[in-house]
Chains A and B, each alone.
Chain A
Amino acid sequence: MMSSIAASDSAGRSTAMDAAVSIEQLSVRFGDVAALQDISLAVQPGEFVAIVGPSGCGKTTLLNAISGLLPPEAAITGKIRLRAGTRLGYVFQKDALLPWFSALRNVEVGAELRGVARAERRRLALELLQAMGLEGFAGHYPHQLSGGMRHRVALARALAYDPDVVLLDEPFGALDAFTRLALEEQVLGIWRRTGKTMLLVTHDLAEALSLGKRIVVLTPRPGRIHTIVNVSWPEDLSLGELRTSEQFFARLRELWDLLLSLGAAPGRAAKTGVL
């Protein structure tokens, strides 16, 4: 567990047929700008993969490519394969809740789009809101909820769709540290209980290290896979305990050093800028 960071390039390139998400030599360009270059990655069912890299390295582009949300002007080469009938959940940094629907109705939308019958939708949505600790807020509109609550509703909506693969794009980036920890705890709990495949994009190395079982480190633009880091922690630790442990700090430091060695760690991206 205290082993140094294990770089496994081959693990990323093996594209097993049974992978939940299989990406082969994916490159994405926007006009003259190469966003992603030669990305190959196989995510196994039930895996929790975190993707980190300097700002602007194409992390979000990767998730958008997987979900088919890239704009028409993006030039895509390579292959992305999802298993047949895969349902995708996507949780954005912005909660993207429908402002005209109550929290309950927002969650119901997830179930509705999966084809769940009306009566069952309501029951499921209430259950999910309750699991998120929001049972008293079902009738509230998004603007009446705090940022943390809105993100919980967004998470509940994604779960109501019962996705096989959950894409998380810096989902808690805009929240305060305590709310964030609580939500990370919740996501980890959901992952452990449901065994859904999770892909988390984050600029927060501690978040990546405490949630991801594999951490994909991307280079500055154009984003290429620099390293894939395997992580495992004792299951019985809470996130709070883990985050304050010596072993966690040691690995966090290794990860930081790795990103710094790329020349553009988060917050240091503008090395060649006028300043």
Chain B
Amino acid sequence: MGAPASQIALYRFLLVVALLVLWEGATGGLVSSLVLVDPFFISSPRRIALDLAEGFSRGTMLRDTMVTLVESIYGLALGMTTGVAAGLALAFWRSLDRLLAPFIGIANSIPRPALAPLAILWFGLGIASKVFIAWSLVFFVTFYSTYQGVKSIDPDLVNAIRVMRPTRWQLMRIVVLPAVFSWVFAGFRLSVAYALIGAIVGEFVGATAGLGYQLVLAQGLLDTDRVFAVLAVTGALAAAGLAAAERLESALLKWRPVAQLGP
């Protein structure tokens, strides 16, 4: 099974430390006479740390993080519920499926940054427009998973239950919904990442708060330290979200066999 988890964690930590030391060194932070790259362009770990400390002590960084987090969570929740509902509706209602299928494909291929100005026009500069963009990404992921989930239900399972004359609701609860949820939660990590991306893309285009808004500000001021500081927080937020998603996923899908492929 390879190295134990604790060992992997140690290697990961060492990898990060090595990268940071290299970065700090290249920008002259260790030996001041040796500057390979001007920190104006790539900042440096020390300067990023100082900027983070300042941002959090002034409270702005935490406030912006919370704004983005809340937008992502709303977008995620709305996208998943509406996506499951729409996926079920189209999977069961054939004529609706045939009518709408091409439009759904087209709608999903619209680049979200192109949608963002409209979202801001419709929903304003506040969190609603960001929730909308996040929703528009999560919705389609969930919609397609749900649809696929229904279509790939083993007919033998349905027959085995149908023989015992279930009500429609019993068949949904015993066969259809568990099958759908296994697909939806298999794509859960992707949805979490999309929700965050959607929120930040929305903030990029027009906002008064949030990590994306901070990024745009810092970019305008050519403040590389701040750009990296915000990216670091975004990364941490993503890592936390993905870890939570992974936990939920493995708890909900523990019934699934895991194939052992290779070492």
List the interface of chain A (C-beta within 8 A of B): 67-69, 87-90, 92, 94, 96, 98-102, 109-110, 112-114, 141-144, 154, 161, 167
Contacts and interface: CB of A to CB of B under 8 A. Distances in A.
B164 A69 contact: no
Contacts of A142: 255
B255 A143 contact: yes
Given A88-B163, A161-B164, A98 B256 contact: no
Nearest to B171: A113
Contact of A110 (B159, B164, B179, B255): B164
Given A110-B164, A113-B164, 13 more contacts: A90-B163, A92-B160, A94-B156, A98-B157, A98-B174, A99-B255, A100-B182, A101-B255, A109-B164, A113-B161, A114-B164, A143-B255, A154-B160
A69 B163 CA distance: 8
A88 B160 CA distance: 11
A115 B114 CA distance: 54
Contacts, number: 59
B152 to A, nearest CB: 13
B254 to A, nearest CB: 8
A98 B178 contact: yes
Listed from nearest, the 6 A-B pairs whose CB atoms lie closest are A96-B160, A143-B257, A113-B164, A100-B178, A141-B255, A90-B163
Interface residues of B, number: 21
Interface of B: 154, 156-157, 159-166, 170, 174-175, 178-179, 182, 254-257
7 contacts: A68-B163, A69-B162, A94-B156, A98-B178, A99-B255, A100-B179, A113-B170
Contacts of A87: 164-165
Nearest to A88: B163
Contacts of B160: 90, 92, 96, 154
B175 A98 contact: yes
Nearest to B164: A113
B161 A69 contact: no
Contacts of A141: 254-255
A43 B174 CA distance: 32
B70 to A, nearest CB: 32
Nearest to B157: A96
A107 B165 CA distance: 16
Given A94-B156, A98-B175, A109 B255 contact: no
A96 B257 contact: no
Contacts of B165: 87, 113
Contacts of A109: 161, 164, 174
B141 to A, nearest CB: 21
B163 to A, nearest CB: 4
Nearest to A157: B160
A110 B170 CA distance: 12
Nearest to B162: A69
Given A69-B162, A90-B163, A96 B156 contact: yes
B160 to A, nearest CB: 4
A98 to B, nearest CB: 6
Greatest chain B CB density within 10 A among A67, A94, A109, A142 is at A109
